[in-house]
């Protein structure tokens, strides 16, 4: 949990909501593909190992190639 956001963990637990790692694992089991933005990772000094297991890393072209055939995409 990011610093200063620890109170969210209690709220999720009380509401019987799965943790972020659990939600990510469930999504992957359902075929959701996670694509990390290489440029953003470079700017922020992040590595693939900093994310949940199973993500792919690519640039805009990688994402657009996947997204053109996807039923739904979510970016943030």
- pTM for the model stands at 0.63
State the total domains in the chain: 2
Q: Are 34 and 56 in contact (CB under 8 A)?
A: yes
* Residues 18 and 55 both lie in one domain: no
d(CA 24, CA 30): 10
* Residues 38 and 73 both lie in one domain: yes
d(CA 58, CA 36): 6
* Residues 76 and 39 both lie in one domain: yes
- 35-52 confidence digits (pLDDT tens): 889 999 999 999 999 988
Q: Are 59 and 38 in contact (CB under 8 A)?
A: yes
Query: Could you give the count of Cα atoms lying within 13 Å of 51 in the half-sphere of its Cβ?
Result: 17
H or E element, residue 14: helix 6-14
Mean pLDDT of 56-76: 81
């Amino acid at each position: 949990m990011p610093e200063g956001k620890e109170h969210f963990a209690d709220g999720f637990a009380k509401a019987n909501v799965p943790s972020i790692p659990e939600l990510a694992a469930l999504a992957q089991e359902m075929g959701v593909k996670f694509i990390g933005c290489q440029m953003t990772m470079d700017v922020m000094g992040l590595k693939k190992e900093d994310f949940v297991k199973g993500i792919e890393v690519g640039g805009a072209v990688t994402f657009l190639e996947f997204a053109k055939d996807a039923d739904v995409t979510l970016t943030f």
